[in-house]
Amino acid sequence: MLLRNLTKHVKDQNWFAVALDFMIVVLGVLLGMQFTNWNTSRGDETSYQDAMTRLSEESQEIWMGSLETTARTQSQLEDVQAAIVVLETCRTGKTADAIVDLGLNNIRSSSGTRARSDALDLLVTNERLLERQTSSIRTQLRQYAQLLDGITRVSDLIQPIAEIDEVDKHPRVGLTTKLDPSESLNGTDVRRARIVGPLEEVCKDPTFLKMFYRWERTAVFELRLQNTLRETVKDNTQAVGLSINTPEPDETAP
């Protein structure tokens, strides 16, 4: 209709009407572009707010996971240090044997850290979400991502994988008969480790005791790393205006 009117006005040389039709067309295009831009902007803002909500939820998960790792590592550390005392003093007897065997099984595994947030990765890489952030928020989110990545990398480095393999290969270490998985420490090791030979001889083997010392050192470092992780989560979520529940461990890590 508008094109037909424009053609008629040109034939009639009604230049005022031609100009009016042209202005209507331009105005329509501009309004359409403005509506599209507004709709896109509103969609980007919704996506940004959704990502921040997910970041809050994932940060909460990281915090709670850190508490679980701390509790598990602290419990293992207590068992290992009890075994170290027995080995250092060469105590003997059924109770001493049980303490060392429990510590021995604990040094066959360790807990690491996987501090990662998919929402945070999206917030620091998606160009359209980056445009919704102020300069300070953008810098804070980037710092948060770098710190979480750094903590995960450090945890990977300190996990004594080779040393755990060394435990099973040690001549003073053997395995029990097959157990029901429900009776094992972690549900997967169906054969529990045990010392080979009398405890009064095993305690005099310095290479055996050193395995416990190495695991102890790694566990203490991991506990401190978990403290750092929780401090990182708390400080950075607060800095970007997010609120999460931050319960503390029942016991303070060494």
Let me know whether 199 and 121 are in one domain.
yes
pLDDT at residue 148 is higher than 80: yes
In a domain, 254, yes or no: no
Let me know whether 24 and 135 are in one domain.
no
C-alpha–C-alpha distance, residues 184 and 179, integer Å: 7
Total structural domains in the chain? 2
pLDDT at residue 177 is higher than 80: no
C-alpha–C-alpha distance, residues 149 and 18, integer Å: 63
C-alpha–C-alpha distance, residues 179 and 189, integer Å: 8
Let me know whether 53 and 19 are in one domain.
no
In a domain, 113, yes or no: yes
pLDDT at residue 237 is higher than 50: yes
In a domain, 244, yes or no: no
Let me know whether 77 and 182 are in one domain.
yes
Q: Which range has the worst mean pLDDT, 12-26, 67-81, 196-210?
A: 12-26
In a domain, 247, yes or no: no
pLDDT at residue 133 is higher than 50: yes
All residues at 6 or more sequence positions from 193 whose CB lies less than 8 Å from its CB, including other chains: 101, 104, 105, 108, 167, 168, 173, 174, 175, 176
- pLDDT value at position 217? 92
In a domain, 88, yes or no: yes
**Which domain does 150 fall in, by range?**
48-60+68-239
Q: Which pLDDT band, with edges at 50, 70 and 90, does 254 fall under? A: very low
Let me know whether 52 and 171 are in one domain.
yes
Let me know whether 75 and 22 are in one domain.
no
In a domain, 246, yes or no: no
Let me know whether 107 and 188 are in one domain.
yes
Greater confidence (79 vs 40) lies with 79
Mean pLDDT for the chain?
Answer: 83
- pLDDT value at position 235? 96
Share of the chain above pLDDT 70, in %: 75
pLDDT at residue 112 is higher than 90: no
All residues at 6 or more sequence positions from 6 whose CB lies less than 8 Å from its CB, including other chains: 18, 21, 22
Let me know whether 115 and 185 are in one domain.
yes
Greater confidence (44 vs 155) lies with 155
Q: Which pLDDT band, with edges at 50, 70 and 90, does 168 fall under? A: confident
In a domain, 211, yes or no: yes
What confidence tens digit (pLDDT) does each residue in 210-222 have? 999 999 999 999 9
Let me know whether 75 and 200 are in one domain.
yes
- pLDDT value at position 21? 56
Most confident of 34-43, 77-86, 163-172: 77-86
- pLDDT value at position 252? 43
* 44, amino acid identity: D
Give the alpha-carbon dihedral of 59, 64, 68, 69, to 10 degrees: 20
pLDDT at residue 81 is higher than 60: yes
Let me know whether 123 and 217 are in one domain.
yes
Q: Which range has the worst mean pLDDT, 65-79, 103-117, 224-238?
A: 103-117
Let me know whether 180 and 94 are in one domain.
yes
CB 63 within 8 A of CB 227: no
- pLDDT value at position 88? 96
Let me know whether 21 and 118 are in one domain.
no
C-alpha–C-alpha distance, residues 47 and 33, integer Å: 21
In a domain, 161, yes or no: yes
- pLDDT value at position 150? 94
- pLDDT value at position 156? 84
* pTM (two decimals): 0.76
